[in-house]
Chain A
């Protein structure tokens, strides 16, 4: 049986939870600073860091016994990226807008 490999220490999980709360505070603070075009970039970057931490540690993708789980996660986001980017390829290059 393989239950040992998924065991994370409680202290680590709680520390990570606090880290995520801090990141939330940072994202709110950053929204009120004028970064120009970088405001949404920073907001999405922080969100992605948070999501990655949740996926890796809370959902135990890091340390999983097989690569398949990460392949599944990555392909999910990959095909989402295809949907978004190829739709944008139309909207961002329309001459009549």
Chain B
């Protein structure tokens, strides 16, 4: 493992963002970046607990999970996946604009990213509303009617196990949506600060680190989409 050592010394006059305990801007930047990556690892483990529960119950109750999964709307799921992927591109472009010192482009891309994030959340809200209408929200009102296979035969599914699928569906997408909300808030603040000219080619670490966070939230969705929406669709 290589490390950056403080050799050259920057001064507070030439770099107003330099905090007192760092020797130079490069050390400060590398420090913030490593901190962000480690935080992302904690996020992986945080979602990991949910993925673990999902994996085990999917193996235990495969038929129920397949039947319940088929109640989700692939169109919305795929659309949201696309929205998030596009937003990841706009984040990359925002970082690039910050590197170039192009303030207008930076603000523009940040705003587009927030709008895409809000689109995702809007679609999620539509999907959740649908779940309420179909009584697919776990709890006393939960109801699940069995589905039919190719030959019109009823697949026997224990509604309790289907309910477990929806419990995990809401836990996982809900936790993901919470991260999206935080991300949208974060990028809104960054957009305002960028508009005020806080960032320059010499200092754009917050943009870069918020971008890393956004990409990780995107990656989690990249896994959630096939795991939740695409179980046994071919039958």
Contact = CB atoms under 8 A, between A and B. Distances in A.
A8 B96 contact: yes
Interface stretch (B33-41, B124-132, B134-142, B157-165): B33-41
Interface string A25-47: 10110011111000110011011
Nearest to B75: A28
Contacts of A83: 45, 48-49, 52
Nearest to B56: A91
Contact of A33 (B59, B74, B234): B234
B219 interface: yes
Interface residues of B, number: 57
A80 B44 CA distance: 7
Contacts of B37: 69, 72-73
Contact of B56 (A35, A58, A87): A87
Contacts of A88: 55-56, 59
Nearest to A13: B92
Interface string A74-96: 01110110011001100110000
Contact of A31 (B26, B82, B234): B234
Contact of A7 (B89, B99, B218, B231): B99
What's the dominant secondary structure at chain B's contact region?
helix
Given A3-B201, A39-B234, A76-B44, A84 B59 contact: no
B81 interface: yes
A66 to B, nearest CB: 5
Contacts of B2: 66-68
A77 B51 CA distance: 12
Contacts of B52: 83-84, 87
Nearest to A34: B234
User: How extensive is the interface on chain A, given as a class?
Assistant: 35 or more
Contact of A43 (B48, B81, B96, B226): B226
Contact of B96 (A13, A47, A68, A73): A13
B71 interface: no
A62 interface: no
B233 interface: yes
A43 B85 contact: no
Contacts of B45: 76, 79-80, 83
B1 A67 contact: yes
Q: Please list the 5 inter-chain residue pairs (A to B) with the smallest Cβ-Cβ separation, ordered nearest first.
A: A17-B89, A76-B41, A43-B226, A31-B230, A34-B234
Interface of B: 1-4, 25-26, 29, 33-34, 37-38, 40-41, 44-45, 48-49, 51-52, 55-56, 59-60, 74, 78, 81-82, 85-86, 88-89, 91-93, 95-96, 99, 201-202, 208, 211-212, 215-216, 218-219, 222-223, 225-227, 230-235
